[in-house]
Amino acid sequence: MTERDVFLPVGAQPTLDALVDQAITAEALGYDRAWFPESWGRDAVTAIATTAERTDEIGLGTSIVNVYSRSPALLGQTAATLQEATDGRFRLGVGPSGPIVIENWHGQEFGNPLRRTRETIDIVKQVLTGEPVQYDGEYFDLNGFRLRCDAPDPAPPIDAAALGPKAVELVGRFADGWHAVNYTRGGVEERLEDLERGAELGDRDPEDIRVTLSVGCCALEDPERANELVSQHIAFYIGGMGTFYRDNLVRQGYEDLAHEIHDAWQEDERDHAVDLVQSELREQMGAAGTPADARDQLERFESIDGVDAVYVSFPRGATTDEIHETMTALAP
């Protein structure tokens, strides 16, 4: 059975307590896991540690922390500590982010993100064994680092976010799970083939790799408002978040539409960009409308063969009340 997770709206919460309250609500509503993003503002580690103290059963994880702003050894320590703090409920989600964030915000050279992600996963896995880490890579050379505390048992799984074919193949070879973000229903099915190929190259069983699909959701008694919010959110990512999400949509067979949405957004014709999404993409990339309609649409994503979990993600323009209404309407 496909699990139903929730992606917590960090930016929409006025305080850390309000954010943790969202996770408590998600647990009470029966969601399987709460994912914490990390971009700017509150860090994911503090938020998860605080949430762990105030919840009992819901799984907790990062989606995602980037592989540049913390060293692999520190990410290993962090994963071990959060696995202890959550009593074994933690999953570490990592990814490369993009050059705008990494170079402009963190002052690091973006370089080869696939290689850096692979090396980070390799090293974190070594750290979590509790044995001395010996690693000779392109980006990292480690000799003798070892956890001073007991290694977590079991070790937390390590997931990775990926968009392109080679990145998804890498996840299949080295990670425990894949986070698929900003995909159409047809597009994620195609990338699942890359995940399976990666698993075969790594001599692994694809069934052992957890696939978590992000779905932008809004379930309101006002269906026009719900559709507008999800469409605006999709348009923002395609038009305003660099080239990665636009290029990913091109790979999914929407080349002309992807460029038209991007150009409209960049030229400040944002209503037009939203209209394009609403007419051609919204039902392929999100679930919105009345509570009944949104639930039906979300179930179409859950029925995709190979998807193990979907997480309910909220549009950036939604109010706190609209987030709560959606979370309640779409509870498992």
Q: Which pLDDT score is estimated for 241?
A: 85
pLDDT bracket for residue 40 (50, 70, 90):
confident
Q: Which run of H or E residues covers position 59? A: strand 59-62
Structure tokens, 164: 């392109």
Is it the case that residue 49 has pLDDT exceeding 90? yes
pLDDT in tens, 212-230: 999 999 999 999 999 999 9
Backbone angles phi, psi at 85, to 5 degrees: -65, -30
- On the question of a cis peptide bond just before residue 64, with omega within 30 degrees of 0, the verdict is yes
pLDDT bracket for residue 57 (50, 70, 90):
very high
The whole-number average pLDDT for the span 53-72 is: 97
**The amino acid at 242:** G
pLDDT bracket for residue 162 (50, 70, 90):
very high
Is it the case that residue 39 has pLDDT exceeding 90? no
Q: Which pLDDT score is estimated for 148?
A: 96
Separation CA 316–CA 105 (nearest Å)? 21
pLDDT in tens, 86-114: 999 999 999 999 888 889 999 999 999 99
Q: Answer yes or no: are the C-beta atoms of 261 and 277 closer than 8 Å.
A: yes
Q: Which pLDDT score is estimated for 48?
A: 98
Separation CA 98–CA 113 (nearest Å)? 9
Reported pTM:
0.96
Question: Going from the N-terminus, what domains does the chain have, and what CATH number goes with each?
Answer: 3-222+287-330 (3.20.20.30)
Is it the case that residue 280 has pLDDT exceeding 90? no
Q: Which pLDDT score is estimated for 10?
A: 80
Tell me what the pLDDT averaged over the chain comes to.
Answer: 96
Write the CA distances from 95 to 127, 253, 291, integer angstroms: 18, 24, 32
pLDDT bracket for residue 190 (50, 70, 90):
very high
